[in-house]
Each structure stands twice: as C-alpha cells, then as structure tokens.
Amino acid sequence: MKDPSLRRSLALFRGFLREPSDPRGFYELLARDAADQVERYEPLAGRVVVDVGGGGGHFTEEFRRRGAQGFLFEPEPRELTAARRRPPEGAVVADGYLLPLADGTADICFCSNVLEHVADPRTFLSELIRVTRPGGLIYVSFTNWLSPWGGHEWAPWHYLGAERARRRYERRTGRPAKHVLGENLFPVHVGATLRQVRARDDVTVVSARARYWPFLPGLVTRVPLLREFATWNLLLILRRCP
Ligand SMILES: C[S@@+](CC[C@H](N)C(=O)[O-])C[C@H]1O[C@@H](n2cnc3c(N)ncnc32)[C@H](O)[C@@H]1O
C-alpha cells in the first residue's frame, strides 16, 4: 500500500480496531507495512536485521520472508508467545539495553514501539546504534506521551493524569492495567527526542515523520507543540555515521 495514503492509514486503523479479536492479522499487516518502510531506505534481502523488543516476532518473520537474516531479541518470554503459538526460530530472550551482539553486527536495527517502555531512552538508543554497522540503518518508532494513544490501554484519559486514567481503566474493565507509568511506560516527547538524536555525532537523521499519517507526515513533526499531540507515533530513520 502506498505510504503515505489515506487508504493505507485507514487499513492500519481498521486492523488496529480489530486487534483484540485478530491480533495476528493486525500484526502481520503492521509488519508488512514496516518492512515496506524499511525498504524505502535499504533493501532487506541478504541483510542482517536485528529486531529489538520485537514481541511475538511478526516483524522478524516478515523480514525473513523478504530474504533478510532476521534476529529477534525480546526480554519478556510472555511477549514472545502473546499473538501467536510459536515465536520465530532462534528468538533470544535479551534486554535491549545490553544486547548480546558485537559492535556493528546489524545492517539494519529495527525497534518498533519500545522506546516509551524504557526508563532511559537515550542509553537504550545508544545500544541500538552500537550494534549497527557504520553506514547501517536504524528504524526507531514510539508512541509519544501526548499522543491521543500515549496512555496506551488507558488512553485518552492520560490527559487528565496517568494515575487517574489507570484506575478508571481498572474500574471499567475489572482487569489490572498492563501499563503503569514509571514502571513499564514512560513519558517520551517528540521535540526532546528530536533534539537528542540531532545532537548526536554517531548518527544522521535521515527522516523524522509521523509513522501512520496519511499526508504530510514529515511536516507535522516540525511544528513545536502541535507535534506532541498530532504525531501519534514518531518514526525516526537514522543512519550510523561511518
Ligand atoms: C508495545 S510492545 C511492542 C512490540 C513490537 N515491537 C511491536 O511493535 O509490535 C513493547 C515491547 O517492548 C519490550 N521491551 C520493554 N522493555 C524492553 C527492553 N529493556 N529491551 C527490549 N525490549 C523491551 C516489551 O517486552 C514489549 O515486547
């Protein structure tokens, strides 16, 4: 599907709404979409692709389908089996802060929707860059805190305070919330993250855009304040400096 286009964004949104009943269908769609995005910058065939915090491995499987040597690193054994029966062969239980990889191993380091789940995104990003070879590509996306989906399962009530939103979710569903602010969900912002990556001397920012937007995805991330609410999910394409 053409990216950006209204058709693509609507298909992703419909898939997202169906996620509770068809997680596999949604994640396979998302994986095809992300692989298309990566291939705009770097072919996948024949490349070593490291998927950090890759959950059930739907992205790794799509990368392999396209001829890449895909490797999945995921710290939570439960996540490995959440949306499917069996994780991809060779999946490694490992923390993204400390990957069991030598410097410069990956042609492409891929990390989707993990940054907002770590307490120290700057150090986490440094590890992604460390394992990427000079000239290699780093794909990082995250849902920023002030996005309408920033509070995850308790969104959009996080605008009224995280604790209140979480309690409301638990009261309404009778289930414990998966995310707790300060434990496994952290407020990450678009402007601060952009300033942080632009200040680094080990990567260049190839693209900074709203991952799911149907039009002008690069423009929205340039407008201070508006970008915190309208980006939804920031996609950074970085290239490691030679
Ligand atoms: C919202 S899920 C995203 C899963 C998948 N990447 C995707 O986009 O569908 C967040 C993932 O981040 C992982 N995660 C949390 N802390 C991590 C860490 N320190 N290192 C690597 N992954 C981590 C979680 O276990 C979980 O699988």
* Ligand 1, atom 6, residue with closest C-alpha: 54
CA of 82 to the centre of ligand 1 (A): 12
Give the pLDDT confidence score for residue 85 in this predicted structure: 67
**Cα torsion angle, 43, 44, 48, 50, sign:** positive
- Provide the pLDDT for residue 30: 97
Using the 8-state DSSP alphabet, how is residue 185 labeled?
B
On the CB side of 152, CA atoms within 13 Å amount to 18
Task: Please give the distance, rounded to the nearest whole angstrom, from the Cα atom of residue 120 to the centre of ligand 1.
Answer: 14
**3-state DSSP call for residue 234?**
strand
Distance 144 CA to ligand 1 centre (A): 15
Structure tokens at 178: 């998966």
Return the CA Rg of the chain.
17
Ligand 1 site-directed mutation target among 76, 117, 120, most atoms within 8 Å of CB: 117
Asked if 58 and 33 touch (Cβ cutoff 8 Å), the reply is: no
* Closest alpha carbon to 189 in 155, 154, 224, 215: 224
Nearest residue to 35 (alpha-carbon basis) of 1, 72, 10: 1
- For residue 211, the surrounding DSSP H or E stretch is none
Q: Is 114 in the pocket of ligand 1 (CB under 6 A)?
A: yes
3-state secondary structure of 72: strand
Ligand 1: residue of 114, 124, 186 to mutate (most ligand atoms within 8 A of CB) is 114
pLDDT of residue 81: 85
* Residue 84 confidence (pLDDT): 62
Measure the CA–CA gap between 17 and 1, rounded to whole angstroms: 19
| pLDDT at residue 82, as a whole number | 80
Distance 53 CA to ligand 1 centre (A): 4
Decide whether any atom of ligand 1 lies within 6 Å of the 187 Cβ.
Answer: no
What pLDDT does 130 receive? 98
- Ligand 1 center to 117 CA (angstroms): 7
Q: Which residue has the least CA distance to atom 4 on ligand 1?
A: 55
Mean pLDDT by 10 residues, the chain (242 residues): 95 94 93 98 98 96 98 95 82 98 98 98 98 98 98 98 98 97 98 98 98 95 98 98 96
Cβ of residue 76 lying under 6 Å from some atom of ligand 1: yes
181 lines ligand 1 (CB under 6 A): no
Ligand 1 contact via 52 beta carbon (within 6 Å): yes
Q: Which of 138, 160, 136 is nearest to 150 (CA)?
A: 160
